[in-house]
């Protein structure tokens, strides 16, 4: 969003894009919503999209594409090997991110699979600012461990610390000493840290992590799936970067990575992923695994049309005209909810607006999944589909012990260039109604619990049929819509 001086002396934000394709939305009636969430086992992943009004499950694979990206999609230069589209993609990675080698994969978790296969051995540790669900699953599947050393402010949703995605540097040094350099495979930094509420790390922190990696000769891996927002938030908040261009900030981040990987479904606004590096040895090792698990090196499981659009997406992801559209909507959503006393993750970051379910529903114990209960209750009263990001998103230990999440969040994701201000007002209104009636919402219990990534396909039921109680009260006060 360009900022210009306004004629009355202030500043004016103007959106640097316009909408030329739209999708008509339908708000399902309350009775349909109740039936849908019951059928979906109180798991928003199992709702059908025609049962949803605003789909805020994720920003993954559902961003609006630019006209240049749509144009790139009809590039029909299809070839199993050596497509020129691959070389366009490689040029974009090289020019924008600064890496010489880059390999497409079918999506972000495929990159995590390849990197875990390559680096992780039984009992060895990946140190990270914070895990992401699929990252952790791949490390564990290789019998490795993850140490999460994010700063403590990340778990205090009220703290307005601007870089809650930072690694705790002191803890990092202590942990390396404690477990020994030989037991650590790499350090991973997630740019815009997903599970703590889309929070960024600072360049200063990344530089300190880089320095420690140099001291101990450890590879630094950056997960850049949502790097666009991290870049914008550095420019906005980190002292000394106000006048830097987004491209310069991006390059400063990527210049510190030994390996960079991303889900291209997010900042890239397509469907796919990739791994990039400047290290010839890593490039060789990665390139040997890609044809086994993904596809030939020049497509890696992606459709070439999407790869063609990704080359454009990489160039456009830090365009000044579009970069902070969602950031401003998220900010508005966080501020308006907060003004109504609703507990949200502060400060507003990237990715979405995150409601603190542990505080919203303090009467529900973690073993009854307050964040999942809130996600389904919010769908019921609004038709808005968010995602549980709490204990249900963690799998049990092999002996069946439940592990509880540091944060119990309902995430309402803002896909890029998709939703508008009236949608924020609607969310705030429905969340306020639910907050007033929060005592009606109770916990959830399992009907079917998968062993790995249980949140995707698990089915639950609402204890003592609280959903019907919520629906009854809603109907009485607000009617069928
Ligand atoms: N890393 C991060 C930081 C992510 O947010 C995701 C996906 C992945 C890796 C895995 O990528 O889905 O392409 O395989 N996040 C999505 C989300 C699923 O909804 O936040 P993927």
Position with higher pLDDT, 2 vs 248: 248
CA separation for the pair 349, 377 (Å, rounded): 24
Q: Is the pLDDT of residue 113 over 70?
A: yes
**pLDDT band with cut points at 50, 70 and 90 for residue 470:** very high
Q: Residue 481, SS3?
A: coil
Q: Is the pLDDT of residue 126 over 80?
A: yes
Q: Residue 83: what pLDDT?
A: 95
| Mean pLDDT on 353-363 | 98
Kindly state the percentage of the chain with pLDDT values over 90: 96
| H or E stretch covering 356 | strand 352-356
| Mean pLDDT on 203-222 | 98
Q: Is the pLDDT of residue 185 over 90?
A: yes
Q: Which two three-digit tokens encode residue 434? A: 């639910």
The pTM for the full model equals 0.96
Q: With beta carbons less than 8 A apart as the criterion, state whether 58 and 477 touch.
A: no
Q: Residue 355: what pLDDT?
A: 98
Q: With beta carbons less than 8 A apart as the criterion, state whether 207 and 255 touch.
A: no
Nearest-CA residue for ligand 1 atom 18 is 60
CA separation for the pair 79, 75 (Å, rounded): 12
Nearest-CA residue for ligand 1 atom 19 is 58
Nearest-CA residue for ligand 1 atom 10 is 108
Which of 99, 103, 119, 132 is the catalytic position?
132
CA end-to-end distance (rounded Å), the chain: 34
- Angle, vertex CA 282, rays to CA 263 and CA 147, nearest 5: 60
| Mean pLDDT on 324-333 | 96
| Mean pLDDT on 399-409 | 95
Q: Residues near ligand 1 with C-beta < 6 Å?
A: 58, 60, 107-109, 132, 134, 190, 194, 223, 225, 263, 265, 273
Active site residue 48: no
Output the CA 440–ligand 1 centroid distance in Å.
33
Determine the residue of 108, 116, 131 to mutate for testing ligand 1's pocket, defined as the one with the most ligand atoms within 8 A of the Cβ atom.
Answer: 108
Which of 33, 136, 266, 305 is the catalytic position?
266
Active site residue 80: yes
Nearest one of 309, 231, 275 to 63, comparing CA atoms? 309
The topology under which CATH files domain 8-59+322-478 is 3.90.1150
pLDDT tens readout for residues 37-79: 999 999 999 999 999 999 999 999 999 999 999 999 997 788 9
Active site residue 133: yes
Q: Residue 77: what pLDDT?
A: 80
- Angle, vertex CA 465, rays to CA 479 and CA 57, nearest 5: 70
**Which alpha helices (H) appear in 217-324, and where do they start and end?**
227-237, 246-254, 280-293, 304-316
pLDDT tens readout for residues 411-452: 999 999 999 999 999 999 999 999 999 999 999 999 999 998
pLDDT tens readout for residues 247-303: 999 999 999 999 999 999 999 999 999 999 999 999 999 999 999 999 999 999 999
CA separation for the pair 201, 189 (Å, rounded): 8
Q: Residue 1: what pLDDT?
A: 60
Q: Residue 75: what pLDDT?
A: 79
Output the CA 466–ligand 1 centroid distance in Å.
32
Burial (CB < 10 A; 0-12, 13-18, 19+), residue 204, is middle
Which of 80, 216, 404, 448 is the catalytic position?
80
Nearest one of 89, 34, 174 to 467, comparing CA atoms? 34
Output the CA 446–ligand 1 centroid distance in Å.
25
- CA 372 from centre of chain: 17
Atom of ligand 1 nearest to the CA of 263: 13
Looking at the chain, the domain(s) classified CATH 3.90.1150.10 span: 8-59+322-478
Atom of ligand 1 nearest to the CA of 387: 19
Q: What is the torsion angle, in degrees rounded to the nearest 10, for the CA atoms of residue 201, residue 229, residue 391 and residue 111?
A: -90
Q: With beta carbons less than 8 A apart as the criterion, state whether 296 and 81 touch.
A: yes
Looking at the chain, the domain(s) classified CATH 3.40.640.10 span: 67-316
Determine the residue of 45, 55, 59, 60 to mutate for testing ligand 1's pocket, defined as the one with the most ligand atoms within 8 A of the Cβ atom.
Answer: 60
CA separation for the pair 164, 162 (Å, rounded): 6
Q: Residue 192, SS3?
A: coil
- CA 476 from centre of chain: 37
Ramachandran area for residue 445 (φ above 0: left; ψ -120 to 50: alpha; else beta): beta
Q: With beta carbons less than 8 A apart as the criterion, state whether 136 and 387 touch.
A: no
Active site residue 389: yes
Q: For residue 468, say if its preceding peptide bond is cis, omega within 30 degrees of 0.
A: no
Q: Residue 78: what pLDDT?
A: 86
Output the CA 266–ligand 1 centroid distance in Å.
8
What CATH number does domain 67-316 carry, 3.40.50.1000, 3.40.50.720, 3.40.640.10, 3.40.50.960? 3.40.640.10
Active site residue 274: no
Atom of ligand 1 nearest to the CA of 110: 14
Atom of ligand 1 nearest to the CA of 112: 9
Helical packing angle, 280-293 and 108-119, nearest 10° = 120
Active site residue 22: no
Q: Residue 3: what pLDDT?
A: 82
């Amino acid at each position: 969003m360009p900022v210009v001086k306004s004629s009355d002396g202030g500043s004016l934000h103007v959106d640097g894009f316009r909408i030329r394709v739209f999708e008509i939305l339908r708000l399902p009636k309350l009775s349909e919503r109740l039936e849908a969430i019951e059928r979906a086992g109180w798991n928003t992943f199992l709702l059908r999209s025609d049962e949803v009004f605003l789909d805020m499950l994720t920003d993954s694979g559902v961003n609006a594409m630019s006209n240049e990206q749509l144009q790139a999609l009809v590039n029909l230069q299809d070839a199993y090997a050596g497509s020129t589209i691959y070389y366009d993609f490689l040029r974009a990675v090289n020019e924008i991110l600064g890496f010489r080698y880059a390999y497409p994969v079918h999506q972000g978790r495929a990159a995590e699979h390849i990197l875990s296969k390559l680096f992780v051995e039984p009992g060895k540790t990946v140190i990270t600012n914070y895990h992401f669900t699929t990252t952790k699953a791949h490390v564990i599947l290789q019998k490795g461990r993850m140490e999460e050393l994010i700063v403590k402010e990340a778990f205090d949703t009220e703290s307005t610390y601007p870089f809650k995605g930072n690694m705790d540097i002191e803890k990092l040094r202590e942990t390396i000493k404690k477990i020994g350099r030989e037991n650590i495979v790499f350090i991973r930094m997630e740019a815009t840290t997903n599970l703590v509420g889309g929070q960024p790390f600072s360049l200063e922190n990344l530089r300190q992590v880089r320095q420690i990696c140099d001291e101990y000769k450890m590879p630094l891996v950056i997960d850049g799936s949502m790097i666009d927002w991290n870049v914008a938030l550095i420019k906005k908040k980190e002292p000394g970067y106000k006048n830097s261009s987004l491209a310069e900030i991006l390059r400063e981040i990527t210049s510190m990575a030994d390996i960079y990987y991303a889900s291209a479904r997010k900042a890239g606004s397509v469907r796919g992923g990739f791994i990039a590096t400047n290290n010839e040895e890593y490039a060789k090792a990665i390139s040997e695994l890609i044809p086994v698990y993904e596809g030939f090196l020049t497509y890696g499981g992606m459709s070439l049309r999407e790869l063609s659009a990704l080359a454009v997406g990489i160039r456009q992801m830090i365009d000044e005209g579009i970069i902070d559209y969602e950031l401003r909507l998220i900010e508005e959503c966080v501020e308006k909810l907060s003004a109504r006393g609703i507990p949200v993750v502060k400060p507003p970051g990237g990715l979405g607006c995150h409601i603190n379910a542990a505080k919203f529903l303090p009467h529900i114990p973690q073993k009854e999944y307050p964040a999942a209960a809130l996600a389904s209750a919010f769908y019921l009263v609004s038709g808005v589909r968010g995602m549980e990001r709490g204990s249900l998103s963690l799998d049990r230990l092999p002996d069946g012990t439940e592990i509880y999440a540091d944060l119990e969040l309902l995430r309402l994701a803002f896909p890029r260039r998709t939703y508008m201000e009236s949608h924020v007002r609607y969310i705030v209104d429905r969340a306020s109604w639910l907050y007033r009636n929060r005592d009606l919402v109770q916990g959830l219990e399992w009907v079917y619990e998968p062993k790995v990534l249980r949140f995707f396909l698990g089915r639950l039921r609402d204890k003592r049929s609280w959903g019907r109680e919520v629906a009854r009260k809603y109907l009485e006060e607000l009617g069928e819509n």
